[in-house]
């Protein structure tokens, strides 16, 4: 099993290597790929050093799977080249998510839709992943009609440049190469990605469109406000969810407690609720602060937190790869 990681030296790429090692992914050969200036640089994996190779060399090696985490333009250009060589690509960027010919996959929800013909598989946006994992089983029972989501997103979602900006500002310096148009330390930016003509940001519209696609239900209405906060790792979301059917809170708790990928952290009397710092290094989506919306019927408030570099990116991609190995490899050999 040859596996390529495109963008191996970035924040998500580094997390991918960690997750692959932790989960003992069955690979025999690792091909770390990064930009031309990184070729030859060494990447450590399971105690061994692997030199970074060029895109062309990785494609020529014909890996079974390539996980991309190098941005949309790189994916658009090179994912089809890997696919043409017979490699199955799992792409972390937004390049293919809304392409009607590509599957958008969260394994707990819809891995079963994958076939051997799916050569480019899209990994959803980090904020969308934790939302749909938290709501999927509730949707089956009560049918989600409308979601109002406000996010509180970590700077690690932007990348290393943003982490550097926060640390420099926190040390009392002016950021040398800022990732944001304003300071992020001791501040909150209601601005993630670029603004679109409708006044929403691209990140907000990703949550709207991707949620419908993953949950396979275009009738779900979603409205989002995405906010960047000065936190290092872990995205939080306040969800207000209107269902078609009435619910009892005890039943909701029971459903969430058995939902794959969810950890229920909900005991306010003991100050137990999900926090980003508690999500670090975890693959679970943490859910708590469950309460009824008292202003209208059939509506639930909940608070959802996940490590955006793990379940929001690296872990979800590795889980897709694990599914491919488990379900597809015997069929294709």
* 37 among annotated binding-site residues: yes
Q: What are the CA-CA distances from residue 251 to residues 255, 274, 288 (Å)?
A: 6, 20, 14
Partners of 264 in the β-ladder: 287
CA distance 132 to 135: 5
The answer on whether 12 is annotated among ligand-binding residues is yes
* CA-wise closest residue to 7 among 85, 84, 95: 95
Cα-based distances in Å from 62 to 101, 116, 144, 310: 23, 16, 42, 26
Here the tokens at position 223 are 């409205």
Longest dimension (CA), the chain: 60
**Separation in Å, CA 219 to CA 3, 55, 85, 138, 216:** 38, 41, 38, 16, 9
Distance CA 44, CA 65 (A): 19
Which among 78, 139, 226, 235 is annotated as catalytic? 235
Q: What is the CA radius of gyration of the chain?
A: 20
- Ligand-binding site membership of 38 (annotated): yes
Annotated catalytic residue within 78, 126, 139, 226: 126
Q: Is 163 annotated as a binding residue?
A: no
- Return the ∠ at Cα 75 (arms to 52 and 134), rounded to 5°: 105
Q: Is 10 annotated as a binding residue?
A: yes
Please tell me whether 308 is known to bind a ligand.
Answer: yes
Half-sphere exposure of 320 (CA within 13 A, CB side): 35
Is 11 marked within a binding site?
yes
Active site residue 191: no
Decide if 235 is catalytic. yes
What's phi and psi for 31, nearest 5 deg?
A: -120, 95
- Give yes or no for a contact between 276 and 236, defined as CB atoms under 8 angstroms apart: yes
41 marked among binding-site residues: no
**Binding positions for phosphate:** 97
Q: Which residues have a catalytic role annotated? A: 126, 235
**Binding positions:** 9-12, 37-38, 97, 153, 228, 308
**Binding positions for NADP(+):** 9-12, 37-38, 308
**Binding positions for substrate:** 153, 228
């Amino acid at each position: 099993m040859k596996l390529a990681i495109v963008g191996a030296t970035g924040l998500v790429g580094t997390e991918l290597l960690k997750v692959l090692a932790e989960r003992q992914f069955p690979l025999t050969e690792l091909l770390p790929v990064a930009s031309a200036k990184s070729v030859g640089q060494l990447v450590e994996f399971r105690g061994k050093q692997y030199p970074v190779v060029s895109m062309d060399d990785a494609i020529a090696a014909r890996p079974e799977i390539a996980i991309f985490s190098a941005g949309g333009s790189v994916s658009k250009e090179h994912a089809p080249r890997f696919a043409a060589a017979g490699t199955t690509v799992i792409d972390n960027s937004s390049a293919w998510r809304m392409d009607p010919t590509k599957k958008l996959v969260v394994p707990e929800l819809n891995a079963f839709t994958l076939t051997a013909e799916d050569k480019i598989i899209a990994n959803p946006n980090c904020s969308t992943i934790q939302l749909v994992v938290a709501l999927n089983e509730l949707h089956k029972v009560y049918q989600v009609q409308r979601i109002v989501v406000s996010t509180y997103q970590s700077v690690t979602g932007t990348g290393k440049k943003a982490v550097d900006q926060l640390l420099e500002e926190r040390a009392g310096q002016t950021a040398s190469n800022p990732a944001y148009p304003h300071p992020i330390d001791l501040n909150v930016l209601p601005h993630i990605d670029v603004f679109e003509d409708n006044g929403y940001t691209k990140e907000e519209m990703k949550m709207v469109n991707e949620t419908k696609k993953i949950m396979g239900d275009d009738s779900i209405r979603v409205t989002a406000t995405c906010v960047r906060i000065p936190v290092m790792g872990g995205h939080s979301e306040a969800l207000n969810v209107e269902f078609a059917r009435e619910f009892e809170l005890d039943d909701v708790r029971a459903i969430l407690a058995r939902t794959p990928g969810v950890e229920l952290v909900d005991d306010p009397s003991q100050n137990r609720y999900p926090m980003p710092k508690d999500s670090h290094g975890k693959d679970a989506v943490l859910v708590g602060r469950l309460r009824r919306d008292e202003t209208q019927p059939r509506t639930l408030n909940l608070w959802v937190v996940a490590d955006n570099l793990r379940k929001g990116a690296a872990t979800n991609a590795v889980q897709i790869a694990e599914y491919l190995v488990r379900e597809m490899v015997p069929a294709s050999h």
